[in-house]
Amino acid sequence: MLFAVHDWGLGHATRDLVLIQALLARGHEVTLVSAGRALQLLRQELKETCAFIELPDIPKPLSRRAIWFYVRMS
pLDDT tens, position by position, 33-46: 999 999 999 999 99
Domain count, the chain: 1
- Cα distances (Å, whole numbers) of residue 62 to 1, 55, 69, 74: 31, 20, 6, 13
The parent domain of residue 69 ranges over 2-73
- Model-level pTM? 0.76
Going 37 to 40 to 46 to 50, the CA torsion angle's sign is positive
At residue 7, the pLDDT reads: 86
